């Protein structure tokens, strides 16, 4: 059996959960020392195994000029005023 690390939400930078790979049924669990599945995973690590890495964090879509203005709380007219246009 193998394990894969993963994030429970896209906002998390570091993995906070683990899932089994290559077994049916697949089991997912949080990294909680009280969880018996997590304890088994830690023993597996102690035996010299390495989990599969989590999927990479996708790059965010670039913001449009309008979205950047909205994020700054500005309108086009306010920006023009700030720039003296």
Tell me, what DSSP letter sits at residue 52?
A: B
For residues 61-83, average pLDDT: 89
CA-CA distance, 66 to 26, in Å (whole number)? 44
Half-sphere exposure of 76 (CA within 13 A, CB side): 2
**pLDDT over threshold 90, residue 79:** no
- Which of the listed ranges 40-44, 59-63, 67-71, 72-76 does the model predict with the highest average pLDDT? 40-44
pLDDT digits (tens, 9 = 90+) for 18-54: 999 988 889 999 999 999 999 999 999 999 999 999 9
In Å, how far are 31, 41, 64 from 44, measured between CA atoms?
14, 5, 47
**17 strand-pairing partners:** 6, 30
What mean pLDDT is reported for the chain? 91
**What pLDDT is recorded for position 62?**
92
């Amino acid at each position: 059996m193998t394990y894969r690390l993963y994030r429970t939400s896209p906002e998390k930078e570091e993995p906070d959960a683990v899932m089994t790979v290559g077994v049916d049924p697949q089991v997912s669990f949080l990294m909680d020392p009280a969880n018996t599945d997590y304890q088994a995973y830690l023993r597996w690590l102690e035996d010299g195994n390495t989990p599969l890495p989590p999927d990479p964090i996708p790059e965010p879509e670039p913001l449009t000029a309008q979205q950047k203005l909205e994020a700054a709380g500005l309108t086009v007219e306010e920006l023009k005023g700030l720039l003296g246009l």
